[in-house]
């Protein structure tokens, strides 16, 4: 179990996993997060995709509009984290390829 585990966080993550489509996710996250929080999370995922594709920090900073410090944090998670970004990148890529 992660150090930050709680029943509340567990419930939140189960709620997210049980959403059935992008529209439901939009509705849920627009209620739960501010627009800025949602944009920040999206930018981090964009940075993870670009890092995984081999782009450098300066290029990512310009394309995504985030600081190199944030990119560095995303990079640490990609390389030494729990594998969450990598799993998301792999699954989204597989899903997008299957849709083609």
Range of the domain at 73: 33-99
For residue 58, tell me if it sits in a domain. yes
For residue 14, tell me if it sits in a domain. no
How many structural domains is the chain composed of? Answer: 1
* Orientation angle between helical segments 84-99 and 68-80, nearest 10 degrees: 90
Q: What's the CATH code of the domain at 75?
A: 1.10.1270.10
For residue 76, tell me if it sits in a domain. yes
For residue 1, tell me if it sits in a domain. no
56-100 pLDDT, tens per residue?
999 999 999 999 999 999 999 999 999 999 999 999 999 989 987
Distance of alpha carbon 32 from alpha carbon 34, whole angstroms: 7
pLDDT value of residue 88: 96
């Amino acid at each position: 179990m992660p150090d930050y585990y709680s029943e509340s966080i567990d419930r939140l993550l189960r709620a997210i996993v049980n959403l059935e489509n992008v529209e439901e996710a939009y509705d849920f996250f627009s209620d739960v997060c501010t627009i800025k929080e949602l944009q920040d999370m999206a930018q981090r995922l964009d940075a993870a995709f670009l890092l995984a594709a081999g782009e450098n920090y300066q290029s990512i900073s310009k394309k995504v509009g985030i600081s190199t410090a944030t990119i560095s944090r995303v990079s640490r998670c990609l390389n030494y984290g729990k594998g969450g970004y990598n799993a998301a990148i792999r699954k989204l890529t597989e899903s997008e390829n299957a849709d083609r």
